[in-house]
Amino acid sequence: MREDGDIAKPAILFLCLGNICRSPLAEGAARAAFARAGIDVRLDSAGTGDWHVGHPPDDRAQAEARRRGIDISGLRARQLSADDFYDFDLILAADEANLRDARAIRPADATADLRLMLDLLPGRGGEGVTDPYYGRDDGFAATWDDVSAVAAALVAEFSSNG
């Protein structure tokens, strides 16, 4: 757990390819879930690629989050860095390709736990969150359902640890 002022709080990073669809949706879902539970955490998202650095989430991702009562329009894409493996306690990758890319830059003495997002859900271990970017708009709803379930699992885990 990282120190933020006088308060130690968990720090979780959500990771996908471009940081404009899955990981900002996961960050938004987690922010809402942790806020509802009254649990103070530090949350962020990043991408393994640099194509969208500085850009807001995809319009379709923003629309899906808004439909669920969450505003992610203020988020901006950034690329995963080696420092993230020290700055966060847990890094959750959207799929196996992003997990593999993260492992490739992970420092040998890194302190962050690195896992797949869906490993947190019973019966979904090893699965990836579907990338809705090249699909139909309804793919964003399925992605939201997955990342929202991950957020709920995280809240349950941190509620029982607290």
110-141 residue pLDDT tens: 999 999 999 999 999 999 999 999 988 889 99
Q: What is the reported pTM? A: 0.94
The domain ranges of the chain are: 2-161
Maximum pairwise Cα distance, the chain: 46
Q: Is 21 a catalytic residue?
A: no
Answer yes or no: is pLDDT of 30 > 80: yes
Beta bridge pairs of residue 124? none
Q: State the catalytic residue, choosing from 16, 44, 58, 84.
A: 16
| Parallel/antiparallel/unpaired status of strands 11-16 and 2-4 | unpaired
Q: Is 16 a catalytic residue?
A: yes
12-28 residue pLDDT tens: 999 999 999 999 999 99
Answer yes or no: is pLDDT of 4 > 70: no
CATH of domain 2-161: 3.40.50.2300
As given in the structure block, the two tokens for residue 13 are 């990073």
Residue 78 CB: number of other CB atoms within 10 A?
Answer: 18
Q: State the catalytic residue, choosing from 44, 58, 101, 131.
A: 131
CB-based burial of residue 102 (10 Å sphere; 0-12 exposed, 13-18 middle, 19+ buried)?
buried
What is the pLDDT at residue 161?
67
Residue 63 CB: number of other CB atoms within 10 A?
Answer: 13
In whole angstroms, what is the distance from residue 21 CA to residue 46 CA? 10
Q: State the catalytic residue, choosing from 21, 22, 78, 95.
A: 22
The tally of CA atoms less than 13 A away on the side-chain side of residue 76 is 3
> Minimal CA–CA distance to 157: which of 90, 103, 95, 93?
90
59-93 residue pLDDT tens: 999 999 999 999 999 999 999 999 999 999 999 99
